[in-house]
Chains A and B, each alone.
Chain A
Amino acid sequence: MSLRIVVTVKYVPDATGDRHFADDLTIDRDDVDGLLSELDEYAVEQALQISENSDDDVEITVLTVGPEDAKDALRKALSMGADKAIHVEDDDLHGTDAIGTSLVLAKAVEKAGYDLVISGMASTDGTMGVVPALLAERLGVPQVTLLSEVSVADGTVKGRRDGDAASEQLEASLPAVVSVTDQSGEARYPSFKGIMAAKKKPVQSWDLSDLGIDEDEVGLENAYTAVESAAERPARTAGTIVKDEGEGGKQLAEFLASQKFI
């Protein structure tokens, strides 16, 4: 038996950098260094663990939709241990929203061939956390999302989803779309050997025509949502900062009382 896993990974601006909007109100990617979204490292990690715990022949493909530099994210995932990579890149993709991104990912996943798709819980820039659900809807396969524990055996994926009101055990037949949280287990660091090996692993590039997607289905002009304005949040007015000289708790209580919290 063989198991084909596709991991969707996003190349995002570093969250610890000073992120801004470009003139067209898309994310400015020039200001801040990009990297593989940390939350997608957890998805790569779970794919690797499923592979390590499986008797099947497992092939892990990492897939990204993004600009030229997004190759860096693929390299990182390959150096962690994925087998091959697909980069969907096209100038017409600039400004594509979640609905459009899910279309491109769905077509690419179908073209690549898959038994299991693993995504991160959310991208660290957009933070919508909706692409995995959209992908499952488009592919017409079960959605097994926000798992903090995941396992695959005998054509079935099982996992634990810790929700607001309850912790749920989930189960679905493959093919399926899974997303994993940052509670699923620390992602490994690429080893030196892994980094060297990654240089020789295949990275395929596809554009929209390879996927049979029309340019008027994606991009900023065709997005389903429009950002009308973006304003930097005014810096909070500097607060009062007091050094505790033994009365700090009482001073704080006085402040809370003055604000009517007590």
Chain B
Amino acid sequence: MAEVLVYVDHVDGAVRKPTLELLTLARRIGEPVAVALGNGAADTAATLAEHGAVKVLTHEAAEYADYLVVPKVDALQAAHEAVSPAAVLFSSSAEGKEIAARLALRIGSGIITDAVDLEAGDEGPVATQSVFAASYTTKSRVSKGTPVITVKPNSAAVEPAPAAGTVEALSVTFSDQATGTKVTGRTPRESTGRPELTEAAIVVSGGRGVNGAENFAIIEALADSLGAAVGASRAAVDAGWYPHTNQVGQTGKSVSPQLYIASGISGAIQHRAGMQTSKTIVAINKDAEAPIFDLVDYGIVGDLFDVVPQLTEEIKSRKG
């Protein structure tokens, strides 16, 4: 059976959920072979094996942390040469897309980004994409070379599928370009204790209607009652009420949770681009004409300062 390379997104050996989703998709096309790089690479193997990786190629070197993107491209190119895979899969993070693109160019292949589904096809994997702010669904495939595909988080379920997960050292020679862009400082993002925005099953977002940084406490309280991540519109971020890392939309994160709750958000096209594929959409807005209501499964026309706290209380009392 053909092998499929899966690039592992991990932090010091802790595998991020989108990578496990990739393993689910990879199994539809062939046998997943994972590639884990940098500090803690070998520690990823047990989790990857549980989710279907037949092999885990690892390589640790300081270059992966000290220089931007290119060392990882060199490693993926080495893995591509070693394995001759049927496809190479990445999760659609900013870095994942950049590594994928440069790899594709080097190996003479086409690249598809931001797939929301992947199936085996007669002429190679077929990727489903959601385009024009999710107003169209397309099916595409790579027509030259080894398909290189990046997949959005929450596009597939994480499924246990025990496999060997044999760890093998990958041999990598860094290119001249590898040390071109130096990382001279790194400030890790502080954890809020809430789920990762792109990975969360429920996202609770606030917009301009929240009207102040301190009022985001209302949004956070609702999120916490549901175990949800907190999102924000660009208007709320630009106003300085909430960090940019929480922005949902075209120039923020693209989310696809089971449930998206928008409060005080009008639903501009650039915001919709980042949340329109959510399964269930709920909005609270005092303007009955707000475009967000075109998307909702359930909408409340009302003041968020009345509705949201009442909702939070009701959830808490129902959960006991």
Contacts and interface: CB of A to CB of B under 8 A. Distances in A.
B300 interface: yes
Nearest to A181: B251
B282 A141 contact: no
Given A241-B301, A242-B299, A182 B113 contact: no
A230 B141 contact: no
Contacts of B295: 236, 239
A133 B102 contact: yes
Contact of B68 (A121, A170, A223): A170
6 contacts: A124-B250, A133-B101, A137-B106, A143-B70, A168-B186, A224-B111
Interface in B135-151: 135-145
Contact of A233 (B134, B144, B183, B202): B134
B175 to A, nearest CB: 10
- The list of the 4 closest CB pairs from A to B, nearest first, reads A249-B310, A244-B302, A224-B110, A142-B180
A166 B188 contact: yes
Interface of A: 15-16, 19, 21, 25, 39, 97-99, 102, 121-122, 124-125, 127-130, 133-134, 136-138, 140-146, 148, 158, 161-173, 176, 181-183, 223-233, 236, 239-244, 246-253, 255-257, 259, 261-262
Contact of A252 (B136, B202, B298): B298
A240 B140 CA distance: 35
Contact of B111 (A21, A39, A99): A99
A259 B280 contact: yes
Interface in B79-106: 93-95, 97-98, 100-102, 104-106
Interface string B257-269: 0110000000001
Interface residues of B, number: 89
A98 B144 CA distance: 13
Interface in B247-296: 250-251, 258-259, 269-270, 273, 280-282, 284, 288, 293-296
B215 interface: no
Interface of B: 11, 68-70, 73, 93-95, 97-98, 100-102, 104-106, 109-114, 126, 130-145, 177, 180-189, 202, 226, 244-245, 250-251, 258-259, 269-270, 273, 280-282, 284, 288, 293-303, 306-315, 318-319
Given A225-B143, A248-B300, A165 B68 contact: no
A146 B313 CA distance: 41
Contacts of B259: 256, 259, 261
Given A133-B69, A162-B245, A228-B141, A168 B183 contact: yes
A262 B180 contact: no
Nearest to B126: A228
B187 A166 contact: yes
A253 B11 contact: no
A27 to B, nearest CB: 8
B298 A240 contact: yes
Nearest to B141: A226
A244 B11 contact: no
Nearest to B310: A249
Contact of B301 (A158, A170, A243): A243
Contacts of B245: 162, 164
A92 B143 CA distance: 19
B101 A130 contact: yes
B110 A230 contact: no
Contacts of B184: 158, 169-171
B132 A19 contact: yes
Contacts of B183: 168-170
B132 A183 contact: no
Nearest to B298: A255
A129 B137 contact: no
Given A227-B138, A230-B138, A241 B299 contact: yes
B310 A248 contact: yes
A190 B296 CA distance: 39
A162 B269 contact: no
Given A144-B181, A170-B182, A250-B314, A130 B251 contact: no
Contacts of A243: 288, 300-302
A170 B181 contact: yes
Given A226-B140, A230-B137, 15 more contacts: A137-B106, A142-B180, A143-B70, A169-B183, A170-B184, A225-B112, A233-B136, A243-B302, A244-B300, A248-B310, A249-B308, A252-B284, A255-B297, A262-B226, A262-B319
Contact of B298 (A127, A182, A239): A239
Contacts of B132: 19, 125
A141 B135 CA distance: 37
B244 A134 contact: no
Contacts of A244: 300-303, 306-307
A35 B172 CA distance: 44
A167 B130 contact: no
A247 B307 CA distance: 8
B182 A163 contact: no
A19 B135 contact: yes
Contacts of B100: 130
B106 A231 contact: no
Contact of B69 (A21, A128, A143): A143
Nearest to A226: B143
